[in-house]
Structure 1
Amino acid sequence: MNKQPVQVAIAILYQEDKFLMQLRDNIPTILYPGYWALFGGHIEAGETPEVAVRREVIEEIAYEAPNFTKFGNYEDEKVLRNVFYAPLTVELNQLELNEGWDMGLLTATDISQGSCYSANAGEIRPLGPVHQQIMLDFIEKFKL
């Protein structure tokens, strides 16, 4: 019997030529511990991906994006990622990190090299491979 992939909604939040990413908690039992990733999470029963991405971003960083646009779906054997994007219209210090180890505005160079320094971690940390690919596709599509 084939198990359905878990559905998640994740957000590309951009400000000029930088992209807000979350440094995931360094807990060995979670997917990509201590990796840079996009904000977002599981879609709850009865929720649309659009509702889920908005809820997750509010829960994780207390940010209400003006609008989200669908970017695409990324699916593997375990997870179906519904990817949305929206502008980040506030400064980083106006966000409240409620989930994760750190957050930062990463450049296209950070994303293409696959790592970025985290002040909270005190070291350079890698990007999650799937999240890096999503960001590279986004940067390529919009020629950022």
Structure 2
Amino acid sequence: MIVVADTSPLNYLVLIEHIDVLPKLYGSVVIPIAVREELLVPLAPQPVRRWIESAPDWLEVRDSGAITLSFDPKLDAGEREAITLAHVHRDSLLLIDEALGRQEARHFGIEIIGTLGILRYAHLRGLLDLNEAVKSLQTTTFQASPSLIKSVLASV
């Protein structure tokens, strides 16, 4: 299985200092060129830019290819390329948070998981404390409904 990441989960996992769970959970992660570029924009948080500038060996940047899929025009380049890359590799998991991007990925039959799901899975594997990770996440710009956060915390 190939694991493809959009910008948001990588951004938040770096900010809460839990990016190291990704190789422990999935081995390696692939990102499209547009996601790398989004992580490098001047408006990205300094820790995120620093992390992607010296990306770890388990992170691979790939061209999403020449396949053209029809997307909602509101999706940004990173989401479009991540969904395309996941679509090309049929047995894939897409790490993505944005509601519209998740909806589009589901439309193409792509399995998805978001930042909260990754943290939950890492907690179940004994890699972190979910309560502490969610508290850290809530100090960032991450947005999720209180009911979603409550249900994720209650599920473990």
TM-score normalised by structure 1 residue count: 0.29
Higher helix residue share: 2
TM-score normalised by structure 2 residue count: 0.27
